Amino acid sequence: SHPPLEDVAPRILQHPSDLLVSKGEPATLSCKADGRPPPAVEWYKDGERVETDREDPRSHRTLLPGGSLFFLRILHGRRGKPDEGVYVCVARNYLGEATSRNASLEVAGE
């Protein structure tokens, strides 16, 4: 019989990279983490938690099963650039958390 697997704190396997996206286009910020138990992934933009369609079914942002953040289309209007900013992905389980590198998402020129 095998000894029981030990639980391990999360670590980030794939970090997001900086993106330059045209408005209205889809985009994906990659993040992949592992740990035992499998960590829950959350995204933060400029230090604030990013809401996805898990909290708001109408959201244009989806948390993919692996942990990446998918934008159906990049929102950008005269009143602001709600998607532009610096993102990090945080993976947590009861043993701790791991934070990815910063990735900036920029909306290509108007």
What pLDDT does residue 8 have? 97
Mean pLDDT of 23-42: 96
Any domain includes 70: yes
Give me the residues paired with residue 80 across strands: 77
Instruction: Please tell me the total count of domains within the chain.
Output: 1
Flag whether pLDDT at 76 surpasses 90. no
Mean pLDDT of 26-32: 98
CATH number for the domain spanning 39: value is 2.60.40.10
Six-digit token string for 47: 């230090």
Flag whether pLDDT at 14 surpasses 70. yes
Mean pLDDT of 5-25: 96
- pLDDT digits 0-9 by tens, 56-69: 999 999 999 999 99
Any domain includes 85: yes
Any domain includes 60: yes
What pLDDT does residue 22 have? 93
Q: Note whether 35 and 72 are within 8 A (CB).
A: no
pTM of the model: 0.91
Give the three-state DSSP class for 5: coil
Mean pLDDT of 13-24: 96
Mean pLDDT of 93-107: 97
Cα separation, 71 vs 63, in Å, equals 9
Domain around 33:
8-107
